[in-house]
A and B are shown apart, each in its own frame.
Chain A
Amino acid sequence: MTAYSNVISLAAGGMLLAAVLIVWRRELRAMVRLLAWQGTAVAAVPLAEGVHHRDGALVAVGVAVLILRSVLLPLLMGRALRLAPARDRESTPLINTTASLLVVAMLTALAFAVSQPLIALESTAATRAVPAAFAAVLIAVFVMVSRRRAISQAVGFLMLDNGIAATAFLLTAGVPLIVELGASLDVLFAAVVLGVLTGRLHRGFGGTDLDQLRALRDR
């Protein structure tokens, strides 16, 4: 019992830590590596729950999640990154690191506040870890709006998705299998599309600075 709740807390904490470190690091390569670590932490949740409840199907889902989130998705992002020129390998945040970390602290507090109804409804080791997953979601949104490189926005999106997947596994024993399967396929394809698009952005604009995307506007 304690081993199980320890693993859950560790996984949730690891997820949040990876999110904070992604904000801290500027180098895109480090961001992608941290994304893989975060994916592993997400997969630990269904694996721990599967072992704890002796549910073979859930363990299988956990293995699939592990392959998807800690291997395939980071691999796709890493590939997109290798095709980008060297000067594009820093994420050039719009907000400096200290201010960013303060924002992260505030977002984490906010996540704890909004997820109270969930803990009130059912207080278990797993649901008590949900605020960490919520915080990862909010931090991911922050990364998406505060970074200027296409790849950092894509990594932010995958972080967001990690947070949501973790929430799903913490709150319930995973959504029904068909939905889980469909959602995983969707995120995989979305990552492929984003990877292809960063390549084209790079070829079309000679860089992946999103500030260059301003041809389309009203005026």
Chain B
Amino acid sequence: MIVLLLVPLLAPLSAAALTAALGWRRVTAWAGVLAALAVLGSGIVLATRIGDHSHVVAGHLLRADGLSVVMLLVIGTVGALSCWASIGYLDTELAHGHITPPRAQLYGVLVALFLAAMSLAVQANNLGVMWVAIEATTIVTAFLVGHRGTKAALEATWKYVIICSVGIAFAFLGTVLLYFAGEHAGVPSGRALDFDTLFAHATQLDPAVARLAAGLLLIGYGAKAGLAPLHTWLADAHSQAPAPVSALMSGVLLSVAFSALLRVKAVLDITLGPAYLRTGLLVIGLLTLLVAASLLVAQRDVKRMLAYSSMENMGLLAVAAAAGTRLAITALLLHVLAHGVAKTLLFLCAGQLQSAHNSTSFADVTAVLARSRTLATAFAVGVVALLGLPPFALFASELSIGRGLTRAHLGWALGIALLVMLVAFAALAVNTSRMLLGTPAAGAPAIALPATITGALVVGIVACLALGVTAGPLTHLFGTAATVLGGT
């Protein structure tokens, strides 16, 4: 069984090693796609094994419980689509002479390492190992964000590395404080960071120290999840990174960091009672929603618009997590998966628009539908899914989050969130229709769609629809994860 936990780590690592040895070729490119599919596959197998248990395996370092399985599914799905689209993306970049073959090789190696680091983060059975993996994602993505090598990309990289490293450093301080509190509660020192041990001793942790740790962990992992007040890196990094990387960062990395927050919340809620972190999450979540919506309104750049929309969704997740009920957590996980797929679709489209127009400004990109029916359809599907309209899964998840909040007597928070989301909804809808509709101006560039990107887009559309129509088989898995996270 432990093999199933090693596959999501070893498959991407092998792909990275292969690319490092052979350079960027057809074989190594497909190895990346296969590695992501292996992550997805082991997620699916683990999901079938989990049944009614709280976890499948929990070794000393690795574990597979409901939450890690859900996150493996997200990493696998978004990873496979992004790696697939990366082939077409890099081919175009190489053909245009934007990058050299060694850069393409570096890209291949780093993306594979990125997948491995995220898999480790969600499968870690130890708060410290989880931290190391999440910090590792910052390091491997640094040069991916700056991959285009332009001045703007460099600026985005610097802000990204500095803000995320500082944020995550605070999370480490929080981890150290929890370890100290754990040792004091009589936990054998080698195991004081293991999730199961922490759960078992949660009631004995010193509340004053735990409060300090909770604040640090919330700010720290919140920074990496794109939550205010340390969110400023997000739009810059997402707009400058290559489109498939933006898709990975927006679709999975943010939610991987958020899942770390969910894990520590589950432990600290036992120690401190749910009110403490609920207040923190509500404040940060609503603030994030507000900031994101206000920046969406005046947005003039398609990739930044998508980035702020991700931020808006992370804010909603924080509010949902504040409710903390089983219903809210189940809905939250569905939201993570559905948002990940829809956002991947959108970023991949945005990437092709960028390469056609050499710009991502709404002023330059207009009348897309008349020039590329496939791309416009994919973009429209992504946006409609993102807006939370039926038949897509975000409709169901947002409805359930709303119900979860009402039941947790947080109707007022729901009211504010809905109002803000309405503004974001309008901004997204208006900007998208302006971009897609209209008649192309004379001399508007043709939009190229390499076969690999078309493939990823079509599969992405199918996945979006499938999730919306039949999320049924996943409901049980989400429920299992909610139990692990202390949802009642």
The answer to whether A150 and B209 touch (CB under 8 A), given A137-B173, A157-B166, A167-B176, is: no
B179 within 8 A of A: yes
Which of B131, B142, B165, B209 is within 8 Å of A117, CB to CB? B209
B135 touches A144 (CB 8 A): no
Which of A120, A150, A179, A218 is within 8 Å of B158, CB to CB? A150
B169 touches A176 (CB 8 A): no
B181 within 8 A of A: yes
Band of interface residues on A: 35 or more
A186 within 8 A of B: yes
Would you give the shortest CB distance from A69 to chain B, in whole angstroms?
14
> 23 A-B contacts, Cβ less than 8 Å apart?
A114-B212, A117-B206, A118-B209, A144-B162, A157-B166, A160-B166, A160-B169, A171-B177, A175-B175, A178-B61, A178-B126, A179-B129, A183-B135, A183-B172, A186-B132, A189-B136, A189-B139, A190-B161, A204-B151, A210-B158, A216-B235, A216-B239, A218-B299
The answer to whether A171 and B161 touch (CB under 8 A), given A182-B128, A183-B172, A218-B295, is: no
List 5 A-B pairs, minimum CB-CB distance, nearest first.
Answer: A179-B128, A182-B132, A117-B208, A171-B180, A186-B135
B190 within 8 A of A: yes
The answer to whether A190 and B184 touch (CB under 8 A), given A164-B172, A183-B128, is: no
B132 touches A175 (CB 8 A): no
B91 within 8 A of A: no
Measured CA separation A186–B295 after assembly (Å): 33
Provide the residues of chain B in CB contact with A171, threshold 8 Å: 176-177, 179-180
Chain A contact residues, CB within 8 Å of chain B: 114, 117-118, 120-122, 137, 141, 144, 150, 153, 157, 160-161, 164, 167-168, 171-173, 175-176, 178-179, 182-183, 185-186, 189-190, 193-194, 197, 200-201, 204-205, 210, 213-216, 218-219
Would you give the shortest CB distance from B305 to chain A, in whole angstroms?
10
A-B contact count (CB 8 A): 132
Provide the residues of chain B in CB contact with A193, threshold 8 Å: 139, 142-143, 161
B169 touches A216 (CB 8 A): no
Would you give the shortest CB distance from B62 to chain A, in whole angstroms?
12
The answer to whether A197 and B154 touch (CB under 8 A), given A121-B209, A179-B129, is: yes
Which of A120, A121, A168, A186 is within 8 Å of B136, CB to CB? A186
B358 within 8 A of A: no
Identity of the chain B residue whose Cβ is nearest the Cβ of A181 in the assembled complex? B132
Provide the residues of chain A in CB contact with B184, threshold 8 Å: 121-122
Identity of the chain A residue whose Cβ is nearest the Cβ of B60 in the assembled complex? A178
